Homo-oligomer: A and B are copies of this chain.
Amino acid sequence: MKAGEIAEFVGGTVSGNGEVEIVSFADLKTAKQGDITFLERPENFSGTNASCVIVPNGFDTAQFPAAITVKQPKLAFALIAQKLRVRETFSGIHETAVIAADSDVRASYIGASVSVAGDTQIGESTEVHDGTRIGRNVTIGTGTVIHPNCVIYDNVTIGNDCVIHAGTIIGADGFGYVRDAEGVYHQFPQVGTVVIEDNVEIGANSCIDRGALGETRIGKGTKIDNLVQVGHNVNIGKHCVIAAQTGISGSVVIEDGCVIGGQVGFGDHVTVQSGAVIGSQAGILPGKIVRPGVWWGTPIQPLDEYKRQNAHIKSLERMKAELKEIKRKLD
């Protein structure tokens, strides 16, 4: 693509030579001729060999062979990188795959040792990579990629254009037990389902449990990192991001557009309202309603309060000394 075409594609303004041919992308330091790159922190800029640089509004572009001015350079770079790098696609059904006769598999690719049980539907252009196991009565949409060694239990639904990374388990039993008078635990029925909506991406080795009696749902466009635990009957809205190793207990509701850090712990029946941002390692008590805003700590509190409280704790040494001095004066 020419720099001018890229500018048009990302909705930016080209300057310099719009005819420059761009073949790939890289970061500022490693970019070479033919590459496009972007400037995230203009104040730290110290040169690049890229043929074209995406810069924020107001940055001087005279020094570059070609430049594209946009409001969000990183976003524009992500969009053009997706376009420049055509992801390798896979096709064919491997001879070692085990596919039930009564399934409806239209996928473009079923890898080695994959198994697909009965009554399952897999849509067109979907790829199921080596060693992934797909249970009975599963529905998977079109254009979805499931990486190797995942396990999709029975009755799960996965939408279109999703990406599930390796080793992720969807639809295992939720963790629900009832204790009897002898202290023995009996499983509460875990017979519900999981619904993953379109454009969801889930990292590696994460776990999304099935609903106990109802469903666990991950909303459209939500992105989940590695090693995340999503308990039974959790309902996550659209366009949320959830970082690595966060654990979400049963029946939690996370509304649209929330941002959840890593290693956060949710008690059960928490509701996080749309637009809330929760800092890493925060802990949320069962039943809590988290309003929009930025939150941190265990138990979580608004970020400002948390910071003020930390400052108070830091001043405890001085407070103690003052108390001592006052007592001396009074005596």
A185 to B: closest C-beta gap in Å = 5
Cα A163 to Cα B189 with chains together (Å): 14
A167 and B262 in contact (CB under 8 A), knowing A178-B74, A225-B175?
Answer: no
Which residue from B169, B263, B281 sits with its C-beta under 8 Å from A167?
Answer: B169
- A127 touches B (CB below 8 Å): no
Contact indicator A283/B281 (Cβ below 8 Å): yes
Contact indicator A326/B330 (Cβ below 8 Å): yes
A25 to B: closest C-beta gap in Å = 7
Contact indicator A205/B169 (Cβ below 8 Å): yes
A175 and B30 in contact (CB under 8 A), knowing A113-B115, A147-B151, A185-B223?
Answer: no
Cα A218 to Cα B184 with chains together (Å): 15
Cα A237 to Cα B273 with chains together (Å): 40
Cα A265 to Cα B85 with chains together (Å): 33
Cα A286 to Cα B227 with chains together (Å): 20
Interface residues of A in 176-215 (CB under 8 A from B): 177-180, 183-189, 191, 201, 203-207, 209, 213-214
Contact indicator A113/B85 (Cβ below 8 Å): no
- The digit string for A141-184, where 1 denotes a CB below 8 A from any CB of B, is 00000011101010000000001011101001101011110011
- The digit string for A282-323, where 1 denotes a CB below 8 A from any CB of B, is 010000000000000011000000001110111111011011
Contact indicator A312/B320 (Cβ below 8 Å): yes
- The digit string for A72-102, where 1 denotes a CB below 8 A from any CB of B, is 1011011101100100100000101010000
Which B residues touch A78, using CB under 8 A?
A: 177-178, 186-189
Contact indicator B316/A309 (Cβ below 8 Å): yes
Residue of B nearest to A229 (CB): B244
Cα A55 to Cα B110 with chains together (Å): 49
Contact indicator A207/B205 (Cβ below 8 Å): yes
Contact indicator B74/A188 (Cβ below 8 Å): yes
Residue of B nearest to A331 (CB): B329
Which B residues touch A314, using CB under 8 A?
A: 309
Most chain B beta carbons < 10 A, residue from A241, A245, A322? A245
**Selected interface stretch from A1-9, A57-65, A129-137:** A129-137
17 sample A-B contacts, Cβ–Cβ < 8 Å, listed by A number: A30-B214, A72-B180, A88-B136, A112-B113, A131-B149, A165-B172, A166-B172, A167-B167, A167-B205, A169-B204, A172-B203, A177-B241, A227-B227, A245-B247, A281-B283, A315-B320, A319-B323
Known A-B contacts: A229-B262, A330-B330. Give 4 more (CB < 8 A).
A79-B186, A112-B115, A166-B172, A167-B169
